[in-house]
């Protein structure tokens, strides 16, 4: 189990913003090759891992990319204006350390995210937005050019994975969706000898448009699919919706998808039969790879099973280990069950 936790931490710590997922993909390839019959990287960059078997064609997807930043302008003094890769809350970025990444996602140099000085004349009602932020790497524009940093260079905020007060609560950057990637790896290990026709798909560019799921689902043409992702816990709401430590979330609806009731009913039945805790999710904001899976080919039954985390899309997200373990257990029991006839 300790080795498995190190895999999860490794996944979280690897830099891989949308469009630069190669380091994450390389790591997952090394791990997954032990558990699948075939794996390949498609033209778009998705990693498709296939366990051969009989029966229905199953697609399980988790995205490799994380939120990040991209340089959009460089001042003569070297300060770099940034654009967001994915949805970020700019005020949470102020004071963060960042790594600027090269073509192969290697770290070129370090910097800090800061903003113009907030003085006594700064309007108190104004919350700094992304246009107020810049990266300072301590060198001027000419020196940045020599380092290979230019408009279009990607950057990621740094925050290594760590346990908080107990080993039940894990915090770090990139929990969205390295947790999902970890769940797929653990499932592949458990289903290695199941002899089912399962495609474990690690997708790219989810954070900017769910693009990897669209291209891979079109190629695979599964009978049904499930996206494994994270969701923002709403445990600060009254009444509470989904909470840490209360089990994985099964999506009924999000901003772009009404999930397959057939798949959901099967998941719920398995969870109740096996006494696996779960939560139902209805949310009007955000979506997952399942949205694009369900629209591939002539339409594919799809849903999302996720892990609730606090501080979504930040470098200090928090997850509960029991939720991750319950997510793996639920999906494993679901895969061991009979074929799902969903139309």
Catalytic residues: 206
Residue pair 113/96 in contact by the 8 Å Cβ criterion: yes
Q: How far apart are CA 66 and CA 317, in angstroms?
A: 12
Quick one: which of 29, 8, 46 has its CA closest to 177? 8
Q: How far apart are CA 288 and CA 295, in angstroms?
A: 12
Determine phi and psi for 197, rounding to 5 degrees: -90, 80
Residue pair 289/206 in contact by the 8 Å Cβ criterion: yes
Residue with tokens 């300072």: 136
Residue pair 61/226 in contact by the 8 Å Cβ criterion: yes
Rounded to 10°, the helix 261-273/321-336 angle is: 110
| Pairing of β 38-41 and β 47-51 | antiparallel
Q: How far apart are CA 103 and CA 42, in angstroms?
A: 19
Query: What are the CA-CA distances from residue 128 to residues 9, 150, 258, 261, 279 (Å)?
Result: 32, 24, 35, 42, 35
- First-residue to last-residue Cα distance in the chain: 38
């Amino acid at each position: 189990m300790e080795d498995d936790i190190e895999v999860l931490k490794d996944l979280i710590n690897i830099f891989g913003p949308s469009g630069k997922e190669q380091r994450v993909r390389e790591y997952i390839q090394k791990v997954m090759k032990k558990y699948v019959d075939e794996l390949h990287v498609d033209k778009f960059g998705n990693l498709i891992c296939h366990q051969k078997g009989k029966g229905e064609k199953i697609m399980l997807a988790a995205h490799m990319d994380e939120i990040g930043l991209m340089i959009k302008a460089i001042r003569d003094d070297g300060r770099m204006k940034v654009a967001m890769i994915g949805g970020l809350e700019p005020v949470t970025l102020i004071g963060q350390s960042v790594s600027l990444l090269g073509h192969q996602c290697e770290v070129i140099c370090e910097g800090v995210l800061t903003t113009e000085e907030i003085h006594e004349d700064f309007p108190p009602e104004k919350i700094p937005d992304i246009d107020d932020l810049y990266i300072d790497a301590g060198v001027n524009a000419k020196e940045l050019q020599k380092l290979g940093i230019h408009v279009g260079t990607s950057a990621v905020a740094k925050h290594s994975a760590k346990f908080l007060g107990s080993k039940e609560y894990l915090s770090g950057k990139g929990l969205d969706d390295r947790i999902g990637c970890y769940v797929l790896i653990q499932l592949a290990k458990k289903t290695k000898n199941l002899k089912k026709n399962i495609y474990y798909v690690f997708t790219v560019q989810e954070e900017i448009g769910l693009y990897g799921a669209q291209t891979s689902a079109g190629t695979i043409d599964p009978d049904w699919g499930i996206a494994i992702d994270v969701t923002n816990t709403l445990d600060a709401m009254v009444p509470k919706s989904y909470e840490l430590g209360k089990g994985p979330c099964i999506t009924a609806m999000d901003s772009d998808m009404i999930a397959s009731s057939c798949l959901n009913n099967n998941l719920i039945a398995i969870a109740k039969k096996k006494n696996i805790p779960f939560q139902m999710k209805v949310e009007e904001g955000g979506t997952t790879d399942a949205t694009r899976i369900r629209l591939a080919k002539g339409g594919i039954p799809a849903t999302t099973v996720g892990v609730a985390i606090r501080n979504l899309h930040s470098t200090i997200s928090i997850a509960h280990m029991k939720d991750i373990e319950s997510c793996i257990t639920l999906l494993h029991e679901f895969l061991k069950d009979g074929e799902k006839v969903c139309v």
